[in-house]
Structure 1
Amino acid sequence: MSAPEERTALPRPASLYAYALRLQHAEPDGRLPMGGYSLPDAPERRARPGRDWRESEEAARKALEPLLTEADTARAAEEVDRRLCEAGVNSRHIFSVVDKMTLPDEEQARALGRRLTRSGTTAYAVGTGIALLTRLGEPEDVPCLRTLGLLRGFTRHAIRALDAIDVPTAALLWLGCYTRESELRPLIDALTARDDEGARAGLLRVPMDPRTVDSAIARRIAESVLLSGLLRDEPADEAILAQGARLLARMTSPRHYEAEIRSYRDAVTVYAAVIARASRLTPSLDHYATLLALALDLHSGPSVLLDWRPGQREALLDALDSLLTTPDWAAVLDAREPADPAERHRLRWARRTARQPFTAGPDAFPLRIEVVVRDPADPDIVETRFLVDGRPLVPEAFGRGPGHSPEHLLHSGSLRATADGQEVQLAEAYCTEGCCGALFVTVRRDGHEVVWGGWRGTSKGVVLPEYRFDAAAYDAEITRAETDHSWAWPARTTARLITKGLRESPDVVGRWRLSRGRAGTDSSDPDTVVVWFFFQPEEDGPWLQFSWQLPDDGTPPEARAAAVLRRLAEEDPKGYAKISGGSREYAEQLGFPWPEG
């Protein structure tokens, strides 16, 4: 009776809660359904034609408000569905309406919410009940909310309600309904079955690669297993400690929209527990890199913004510094380089980055610009960080993506201040500006000062002031940041020098009717340089992109870049670079074979 096609054949019970319970009990071993169950078939209800969301919300408010003080909750519950249906309200707007409503009698509103969630037969009724319990729910409401969260359409809202009452249950519901990684199923099933040993084993088997565990999944795993309690109860268990440190480091990653560390309520507690016990970890490259990643975020990332006690964050950084400079841990950096390219790249990163989070900039000037390369286990993130009075600007003002690369912001001269001023995009959402926005600032010189103002794209509710910096000190900070290449590995330096040469001498590729020449590193192999060109003989005509890959051959960056620029000047790269953009049709029109495979 647990097959999906059989579940939908169940007769519809009197309430959606009873319907969800029946499906849940039919599930073997109590396993949470991936993606949730479908709501039973019901007549489709649409918002009144021509009504925008503001009108729909206002209609919902007028329909619900009188019912919140109705003494007879049974009658009020019956009226909710009828009134919302008659008003032609979009059911998705109910939650935002209830969020904003004044609740004159919270006990009465809570009672109505409970009746609606337990006896409601429509999305209108149950949605209103969940919305009320999001504000007023108590522990006794957890089982009902968890069960209703198994129904698609209610999952996200039930999780939000549970987050305010029972975070581990909310996290488990989130994992069960939203994650599709098979590696997580043993952990989820064990937690669902309340099998502590199975959950521990499942936690230790979770692979900490970004394809399986992103920032959001890491937070929900930590919440569902009560990580802070595990670290307190099993302080000597190295495997649990190491996995906890990896989860914490993964939560600081801005990949896949935003870092979750600020949403993790136990972040400060877990940071303190991990660092206090870090000496129990066996010195290894993985453990060193994980602790270094935590230090980088404590130094200049989103973790700076957590609710620290005075001096607590600085003390944790000092503790990490003391540990990682002990002979046993320092020996990790002196080890022979691994044969595996990814591990070799990670070791070299650790060597370059080892002192960065423990080296404070001057306190006199309020702006500090740093380029941070994240642990290569979280690939393709090289970000420019801006600390204003010690606080990281991009996570605090935007948060939906990291600061742009130094090539975009520093090597281009974008942050140089002129009297005319220029708007600069400091960061972009991971899903692109067109989806979730970007953070912009206008940089201009005003006499003896440089002004950062005209902010655009800040997060909702964030209002940034106009920052004014001493112009001479600002220019010095920009120059320092532009010329500090200590963060870069050889391939990245080679790419920078090639791009610089192409920018300074556009005729190098212009003679071959190519444009937009630039270089970077391969996202899947950071030791490989890639040079890109754009070929479009006629404006608005067919076009192709070419790329030339240059694997690491041990040549010093300066010599490698010079050799590349010489070949580009002497030989048309369309003859040896590969087509990497455009279309088969465009290639045929321009006389090039389209690559197969």
Structure 2
Amino acid sequence: MSAPEERQTLASRPSLYAYARARLDAEPDGRTPAGCYPAPEHTRSQDTADPPDDSEPLRYHEALAAARDALAPLLAAPGDTPGSTAESLRRRLAELPVSRRVVAAAVAELALPDEPAARALGRHLVRTGTETGPVTVGLALLLRLGEPADVPSLRVVGLVRGLTTPAVSALERLDRRAAALLQLTSQADRDGVRALVDAFSCGDRRAAATALIEAPLDIGHVRPARARLLAEASGLAALVRRDRVDPRLLDQAGRLLVRMANRQDYRSEILRYADAVEVYEALVRRACALEPTGRRGAVLLSLALDLHSGSSHLLPWQEGQREQLLDALGGLLTSPEWATLPDRVDATAPPAVRHRAAWVRGTTDRLFASRARPAGRLRIEVVATDPVEREPVETRFLLDGRPLVPEAFGRGFGHSPEHLLDSGELRATEEPREVQLAEAWCTEGCCGALWVTVVREGDEVVWRDWRRPPRLPDGTEPPRLPAYRFDATAYDAELDRAGRETGWSWPARETGRLLAGELRRRPELLARWDARLTHAGVDTRDPYTTVLWFLYRPGIFEGEADEDGPWLQFVWRLPDGDGDPRERVAAALRRLAEDDPRGYAECRGGSRPPVPPDTAI
């Protein structure tokens, strides 16, 4: 196609902004769409240019460098007429075999010496661009330089699929509610989100409050990111500030905060929620007027736990504000009206109900008793959250009163007490040992882990030589971690205290902990069957069932096992999860001493098909 023909064809196409605007204007009653609009046909194959036939696809760093080199001259001096610069940029992008994501990353790094001109170019590209590449550049420029006047354009062009994410990023700096509404709109074709978007978009606070009250907020419906979007899009902070607030709305506000504090995600959503402090303050202030119920008590206790040693500890509190909220929650939850709620749960109730009641009772006592103890330089706390939230039990570390893992790592949980305390991993000797304190929610291979070297030097224990990702999940540099020195006697005492406290556990898990400890002390019980322990704990899908995992490999008993030879993995699910843990462990050990566990455990794979217990592999 010749240049004049190409210009004529481009001129006949509506801009992506005009396309989205026309689709939006055609919606019944001006409602937002149920999901975003598909990009026009002519843009759908334009994510990247095709590389030459004889070339290899560019690696990410190569693509980023190519995009920077191509765009830098145009953005450094946009010129007086955005239209001519836009056309040059369009042609340059058409020749680049890189994705829109790489283009946006390149724009984020480039110097913009003439910011007004770059802002004008960004606006021109967003409003007039007919292809996704130039519009992506415009959105990346407005992410850096946008002003409140750009919000309407960003909201409209973000309705085109493929442009939603960069538009949301640009909006988050200017209008977080608009950003949340756009993000929810892109999800509004599933999970009943459409009704919520309609209610939040209409500007009627009563409608927004009603929709939020009726929204299902159980963990299956609302993950941490969705919880933040609902809070921002509904204007939750303004709703809970009103003089008269429906108690059901306060319940939902508490659940949303708990969901945002849940760290089973790639980053902490509670730290991304700009109104978190305001909502916490309003909720705790009004909690004393709420009727005591078991469910409310669990939510308020969850919030107190996170304020004490979780991500919420790191919110931008005024001096003493967080401590005052904790004191208020402590006074409420330990008052007779609230403290006796767990005792009213019937002994015949389902295990999950009894577990939650026991968790509320034990966690309330431990949390507020621990706050009364003098704070040393290191405090180790084992924290089990509300069983309904399905978070793993973790070992938390407070260094100089600050929660280590959320502040210095931010991608997951501290490891379990079985891994760090029961195993002796944190015990310090004169031989330095590297210990993994936490791992990313998605595994270390994906997003990293937090490691520290533990060593005893004379009368001190030193934590030094930290290893972790160079950036926090939000892209900022993490705080510096120096070498921490602890009095060795105080350090050992803190490990002993944390290891002795088992009130966070429940019968099935305590059975697994005790069983693992006994088998570490008496490995011969499994070795006589050519087996060794791999794990003892609770079933990941059923926390009220104790499981024992062991590996069978011929030759273990004689000390001649071939590590490259045949093997089988077994799991033994112990029956009767509500029995006394010590009695259950004793019974399990007797059976292991008398009967080959391959006869009653379930084979879960290996190098060969399962074989009868009396048959050698």
Q: Same fold (TM over 0.5)?
A: yes
Asked if the contact 1:186–1:199 (Cα under 8 Å) also holds between the matched residues in 2, the reply is no
Equivalent of 2:173 in 160, 164, 174: 164
1:243 and 2:252 are equivalent in the alignment: yes
1:260 alignment counterpart = 269
Asked if the contact 2:383–2:396 (Cα under 8 Å) also holds between the matched residues in 1, the reply is yes
**Secondary structure at 2:412's aligned position in 1?**
coil
* TM alignment of 1:43-122, pairs within 5 A: 43-44=45-46, 45-46=48-49, 49=55, 51-68=58-75, 69=77, 70-86=79-95, 88-122=97-131
1:561 and 2:549 are equivalent in the alignment: no
Task: Please identify runs of 4+ aligned residues in structure 1 that moved more than 6 A.
Answer: none
Cα distance, 1:384 vs structure 2: 0.4
1:393 alignment counterpart = 404
* TM alignment of 1:156-195, pairs within 5 A: 156-178=165-187, 182-194=191-203
Distance change (3 Å), C-alpha of 1:85 and 1:28: same
Asked if the contact 2:544–2:577 (Cα under 8 Å) also holds between the matched residues in 1, the reply is no
Name the CA distance, whole Å, in 2 between partners of 1:180 and 1:404.
38
Cα distance, 1:329 vs structure 2: 1.4
Equivalent of 1:342 in 336, 346, 352: 352
Q: Quick one: which amino acid aligns to residue 402 of structure 2?
A: R
Name the CA distance, whole Å, in 2 between partners of 1:12 and 1:378.
54
Asked if the contact 1:188–1:199 (Cα under 8 Å) also holds between the matched residues in 2, the reply is no
Name the CA distance, whole Å, in 1 between partners of 2:354 and 2:36.
39
2:533 alignment counterpart = 516
**Secondary structure at 1:103's aligned position in 2?**
coil
Cα distance, 1:27 vs structure 2: 4.8
**Secondary structure at 1:288's aligned position in 2?**
helix
Cα distance, 1:553 vs structure 2: 5.2
Equivalent of 2:365 in 347, 355, 359: 355
Residues 10-68 of structure 1 deviation map (CA, whole Å, 9 limit, x = unaligned): x9932122223334445556343447634533454337545443443334334333434
Name the CA distance, whole Å, in 1 between partners of 2:345 and 2:12.
66
Distance change (3 Å), C-alpha of 1:27 and 1:515: farther
Distance change (3 Å), C-alpha of 1:361 and 1:324: closer
Cα distance, 1:401 vs structure 2: 0.5
Cα distance, 1:438 vs structure 2: 1.2
1:466 and 2:483 are equivalent in the alignment: yes
Cα distance, 1:573 vs structure 2: 1.6
1:6 alignment counterpart = none
Cα distance, 1:408 vs structure 2: 0.7
Name the CA distance, whole Å, in 1 between partners of 2:189 and 2:551.
38
Equivalent of 2:339 in 330, 336, 339: 330
1:443 and 2:454 are equivalent in the alignment: yes
**Secondary structure at 2:113's aligned position in 1?**
coil
Asked if the contact 1:361–1:368 (Cα under 8 Å) also holds between the matched residues in 2, the reply is no
Q: Quick one: which amino acid aligns to residue 509 of structure 1?
A: L
Distance change (3 Å), C-alpha of 1:311 and 1:41: same
Name the CA distance, whole Å, in 1 between partners of 2:452 and 2:286.
42
Moved more, 195-204 or 14-23: 195-204
Cα distance, 1:184 vs structure 2: 3.4
Count residues in correspondence. 579
Asked if the contact 2:380–2:396 (Cα under 8 Å) also holds between the matched residues in 1, the reply is yes
Is there any run of 5+ residues in structure 1 with no aligned partner, and where?
1-10, 593-597
Asked if the contact 2:447–2:469 (Cα under 8 Å) also holds between the matched residues in 1, the reply is no
* TM alignment of 1:176-325, pairs within 5 A: 176-178=185-187, 182-194=191-203, 196-233=205-242, 235-325=244-334
* TM alignment of 1:141-152, pairs within 5 A: 141-152=150-161
Name the CA distance, whole Å, in 2 between partners of 1:271 and 1:183.
27
Cα distance, 1:177 vs structure 2: 2.0
Name the CA distance, whole Å, in 2 between partners of 1:290 and 1:132.
42
Q: Quick one: which amino acid aligns to residue 267 of structure 2?
A: E
Distance change (3 Å), C-alpha of 1:403 and 1:364: closer
1:544 and 2:553 are equivalent in the alignment: no
Per the normalisation by structure 1, the TM-score is: 0.91
Moved more, 310-319 or 350-359: 350-359
Equivalent of 1:374 in 385, 389, 393: 385
Is there any run of 5+ residues in structure 2 with no aligned partner, and where?
1-10, 472-476, 555-561
What CA RMSD, in Å, does the superposition of the two structures yield over aligned residues?
A: 2.4
Name the CA distance, whole Å, in 2 between partners of 1:311 and 1:542.
61
Distance change (3 Å), C-alpha of 1:16 and 1:410: same
Moved more, 510-519 or 377-386: 510-519
Q: Quick one: which amino acid aligns to residue 508 of structure 1?
A: L
Cα distance, 1:560 vs structure 2: 1.3
Name the CA distance, whole Å, in 2 between partners of 1:586 and 1:352.
46
Moved more, 524-533 or 500-509: 524-533
Asked if the contact 1:494–1:560 (Cα under 8 Å) also holds between the matched residues in 2, the reply is yes
